[in-house]
Amino acid sequence: MSPERIASLAIVGRPNVGKSTLFNRLAGKPLAMVDDRPGVTRDRREARGRLGDLELRLVDTAGYEDKETGIEVRMRQQTEIALAEADVCLFLIDGREGVTALDQRFGELLRRASKPVILLVNKAEGKQGDEGILEAWNLGLGEPIPISAAHGEGMGDLYQAIRAALGEAGIDDGPTPDTDEEEGAPLRIAVAGRPNVGKSTLINALIGQERLITGPEAGLTRDAIAVDWLWDGQRVRLHDTAGLRKRGKVDDRLERMSAADTLRAIKFAEIVLLLVDAEHPLEKQDLTIADRVESEGRGLIVLVTKWDLVKEKQAMLAELREEFERMLPQVRGAPLIPVSALTGFGLDKIMPAVVALHKNWSVKVKTRDLNDWLAEMVARHPPPAVDGKRIRPKYMAQTKARPPTFVLMASRAGKLPDSYKRYLVNGLREAFELPGVPIRLIVKAGKNPYADKG
């Protein structure tokens, strides 16, 4: 493969044959959710992967079904897009079950496609898949390769087959640099919220294509899907996430896995777009998610979706701002933007707000400016005396950014009241213009210069 080109592999097949297990194996980490139930994967998921010395772009797809109504139609459309964009298709069948009628229909579709196809017989540990391997010859897709995605068996044969298929597709198989390192890592944005607030619809509207499955059914998105996007020359990675419900209502193993995937996406994001429904805004679960974002130290932007349905727009926006500031003072000043994915209203304001917030989230304040500010704050409002003794702030320094983290050295540091810490944090936010940014303030006692002297 040339330095400008990474081969794309689409992993396809009917439901529950092990596509996500193979995807995770090649990606080198558990990115896709795996469960014994069919139909867990719905949107196509992409990731970088490696097999031997081959750098690959992997695409996990939904199980292929030939139903003509319901969500299966939208899932099949996503699989067909992945097929059209791939350089090579990895077609999995279940070696234990053998070739099914659906495998045969999918095989016919792949034979008509002008793409190299590698036929893989999965779950073929030991002799378990022998019968399935014999049946697979009848699909007319060349020699079947027995593998075990769960145990890593057959990866050497798969490597050789991929190299041959890349040559067939006219793609060089030379070394490929890591584009993230060459071009700079993308800006990571997680899109979070309760179920059915329009997260996938918003991402589709932002990027201008039907990349993610949408519909009236709640809970369509199950695992966090990464979508790469180029905005104004800036590489962006949007993570669509499953809707988060109250913990007490989550009693399904798959939903618990979805929730864990969403929380992981928030943890590794830089900015989180929290979507709240204009018809039911700022419910307790919205505030719980916002609090989680702040506790993880991520930048927060609140998007009020379905704004086209609101009648008294100005009054409602003012009420929402006031309520949000009151309920979550720790992210005071976080952008609150009304949007409508249906009409496009407000979408043009999202990325400028993201960029501005990211700049503040990454800010570094000079130590001299900090200490000039600290002296002024203490002179205006000294810390209260505790047990008859005064607490004396000495100096302050910023120890890291993303989020901005400050250390205050003070005598009797453990006695400094939380109310005074909030006073200082609010002062930092106002003085250095850091609206909506989580701010960490650590108070430490200065070392006693006489402690080690006898």
Has 49 been labeled as part of a binding site?
A: no
Q: State the pLDDT at residue 76.
A: 60
Which class in CATH covers the domain with range 7-177?
alpha beta
200 is in an annotated binding site: yes
CA terminus-to-terminus distance, the chain:
69
Q: Is 387 exposed, middle or buried (0-12, 13-18, 19+ CB in 10 A)?
A: exposed
Of 394 and 4, the one with more pLDDT: 394
| Residue 123 marked as a ligand binder | yes
100 among annotated binding-site residues: no
- Residue 403: cis peptide before it, omega within 30 degrees of 0: yes
Q: How far is CA 299 from CA 25, 173, 216, 336, 358, in A?
A: 32, 40, 29, 12, 7
Across residues 44-63, what is the average pLDDT?
Answer: 80
E strand or H helix at 56, and its extent?
strand 54-60
Question: Which pLDDT belongs to residue 151?
Answer: 87
Is 198 one of the annotated binding-site residues? Answer: yes
- What's the mean per-residue pLDDT of the chain? 80
Residue 385 marked ligand-binding:
no
Is residue 82 within 8 A of residue 19, CB to CB? The reply is no
pLDDT in tens, 145-182: 889 888 888 888 888 889 888 876 666 544 444 444 43
Would strands 54-60 and 7-12 be described as parallel, antiparallel, or unpaired? parallel
- Same CATH topology for 7-177 and 185-361? yes
14 is in an annotated binding site: yes
- Tokens 């059914």 correspond to what residue? 217
Counting DSSP H helices and E strands in the chain, the numbers are 13, 15
Tell me the DSSP string of 137-183: GGGSSS--EE-BTTTTBTHHHHHHHHHHHHHHTT---S----HHHHH
- Whether residue 29 is annotated as binding a ligand: the answer is no
Is 16 known as a binding-site position? yes
Phi, psi at 8, each rounded to 5°: -105, 125
Q: What is the per-residue pLDDT for 262?
A: 74
61 has binding-site annotation: yes
What is the rounded distance in angstroms from the CA atom of residue 92 to the CA atom of residue 81? 18
Question: Is 50 marked as binding a ligand?
Answer: no
- Looking at CATH, the fold of the domain delimited by 185-361 is given as Rossmann fold (3.40.50)
* Tens-place pLDDT, residues 326-385: 888 888 889 999 999 889 999 999 999 999 999 999 999 999 999 999 999 999 999 988
Nearest to 359 by CA among 433, 296, 264, 417: 433
Known binding residue 243? Answer is: yes
Each residue's pLDDT tens digit, 221-272: 445 577 888 999 999 988 887 766 555 554 555 456 556 767 777 888 899 9
Mean pLDDT of 122-147: 83
Residue 240 annotated as binding?
Answer: yes
Could you give the 3-state DSSP secondary structure of residue 424? helix
CATH number of this structure's domain 367-444, picked from the four choices 1.10.468.10, 3.30.300.20, 3.30.70.1450, 3.30.9.80? 3.30.300.20
Any known ligand binding at 237? no
- 127 pLDDT tier (thresholds 50, 70, 90): low
Q: What is the pTM of this model?
A: 0.64
Find out whether 18 is annotated in a ligand binding site: yes
At residue 280, does pLDDT exceed 90?
Answer: no
Instruction: Flag whether 19 is marked binding.
Output: yes
Q: Where are the domains of the chain?
A: 7-177, 185-361, 367-444
Q: Is 447 exposed, middle or buried (0-12, 13-18, 19+ CB in 10 A)?
A: exposed
Does residue 444 come out as left (phi exceeding 0), alpha (psi in the -120 to 50 range) or beta?
beta
Residue 196 marked in a binding site = yes
Provide the 8-state DSSP code for 189: E
Asked whether 435 and 333 are in contact (CB, 8 A), the reply is yes
Q: SS3 helix, strand, coil % of the chain, rounded to 5?
A: 40, 20, 40
290 marked as part of a ligand binding site: no
Residue 349 annotated as part of some ligand binding site: no
Instruction: List Cα–Cα distances, 138 to 19, 110, 154, 185, 223, in angstroms.
Output: 21, 14, 21, 45, 35
221 annotated as a binding-site residue: no
Q: Consult the annotation and say whether 63 binds a ligand.
A: yes
The answer on whether 386 is annotated among ligand-binding residues is no
- Residue 142 counted as an annotated binding residue: no
The C-alpha atoms of residue 426 and residue 439 are separated, in whole angstroms, by 9
Residue that wins the pLDDT comparison between 209 and 410: 410
